[in-house]
């Protein structure tokens, strides 16, 4: 399995409107991440720009369409296209979601939650094994943001993710914004979630901003919107997370209402400062 790793720096999602600016200014960014499905065509400007950027920066490849949690077999054509993309760009990291997004021949434009049962666990384990064998590398699996819970669930989410990692050898992508969204929506403690998470399996962290509404009961409802700066409570939870994980590559996701690149670069700077602070804390601990 491929063992390359991203640098423990801040990364940003690569957006077409920023291609030229990035190549011209070559900003000090740890890595860039792209959604695999956006680059599954054979050629054209997206590949030309991505090739140039990958020659200068580390790359994280993030999938949104495998439907790893789906009840049906994985789409072999999709998996083959993904393998070609991985072989072409040799990303330092590949990740996907603990979710399902397809049914029969229909693709649903959403990442839908799963019941956490033994049957679901066995299905996801089989799918993760299949992906890793097809790609010839270890993948990372991301914790979801959820808005409903299933009565039939018999396994807590943290335990479910830990079991997948133990049985397949995959790593985990810890999305701190998703932790906050799910915890608020289900009135759970996000600190407790992080403190129970198998941080030794984490290869990458994600951060984002959320939108906020009110549900039918009058309670707070957070929406994983990726359309604003990282929320202050999410950033505070991230700083707590770093005390458990140590420095790790951390992506700032901003996929909707995308601002100018300088705004994204400022978000990356704040993340780099948080990572540097953990480096300093660890250095002092070793020195003492």
The per-residue pLDDT for range 204-223, each reduced to its tens digit, is 999 999 999 998 888 899 99
* Assigned fold of 10-287: TIM Barrel (3.20.20)
Q: How confident is the model at residue 93 (pLDDT cuts 50, 70, 90)?
A: very high
pTM: 0.94
pLDDT at residue 108 is higher than 50: no
Q: How confident is the model at residue 103 (pLDDT cuts 50, 70, 90)?
A: very low
Residue the block writes with tokens 């011209």? 24
Please give the pLDDT value at position 157.
97
Query: In 3D, which of 36, 27, 107 has the Cα closest to residue 72?
Result: 107
User: What's the residue count for the chain?
Assistant: 288
Question: Residue 266: how many CB atoms within 10 A of its CB?
Answer: 12
Between CA 53 and CA 19 the distance in angstroms is: 8
Burial group, residue 44, by CB count within 10 angstroms (0-12, 13-18, 19+): exposed
Mean pLDDT of the chain: 93
Domain residue extents for the chain: 10-287
Q: How confident is the model at residue 3 (pLDDT cuts 50, 70, 90)?
A: very low
pLDDT single digits (tens) 40-87: 988 899 999 999 999 999 999 999 999 999 989 999 999 999 999 999
Please give the pLDDT value at position 215.
85
- Residue 155 sits at the vertex; the CA angle it makes with 151 and 157, to the nearest 5 degrees, is 100
């Amino acid at each position: 399995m491929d063992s390359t790793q991203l640098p423990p720096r801040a990364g940003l999602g690569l957006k077409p409107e920023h291609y030229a600016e990035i190549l011209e200014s070559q900003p000090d960014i740890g890595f860039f991440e792209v959604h695999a499905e956006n680059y599954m065509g054979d050629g054209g400007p997206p590949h030309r720009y991505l090739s140039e950027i990958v020659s200068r920066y580390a790359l994280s490849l993030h999938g949104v369409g495998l439907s790893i949690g789906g009840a049906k077999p994985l789409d072999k054509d999709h998996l083959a296209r993904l393998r070609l993309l991985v072989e072409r760009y040799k990303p330092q990291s590949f990740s996907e979601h603990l979710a399902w997004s397809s049914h029969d021949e229909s693709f649903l434009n959403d990442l839908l939650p799963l019941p956490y049962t033994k049957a679901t666990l066995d299905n996801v384990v089989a799918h993760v094994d299949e992906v890793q064998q097809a790609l010839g590398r270890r993948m990372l699996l991301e914790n979801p943001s959820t808005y409903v819970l299933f009565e039939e669930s018999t396994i807590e989410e943290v335990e479910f993710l830990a079991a997948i990692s133990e049985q397949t050898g995959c790593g985990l992508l810890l999305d701190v914004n998703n932790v906050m969204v799910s915890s608020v929506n289900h009135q759970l403690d996000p600190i407790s979630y992080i403190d129970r998470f198998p941080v030794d399996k984490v290869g990458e962290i994600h951060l984002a901003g959320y939108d906020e509404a009110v549900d039918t009961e009058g309670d707070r409802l957070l929406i994983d919107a990726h359309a604003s700066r990282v929320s202050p409570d999410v950033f505070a939870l991230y700083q707590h997370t770093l005390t458990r994980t140590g420095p790790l590559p951390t992506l700032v996701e901003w996929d909707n209402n995308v601002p100018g690149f300088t705004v994204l670069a400022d978000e990356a700077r704040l993340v780099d400062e948080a990572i540097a602070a953990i480096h300093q804390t660890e250095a002092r601990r070793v020195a003492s």
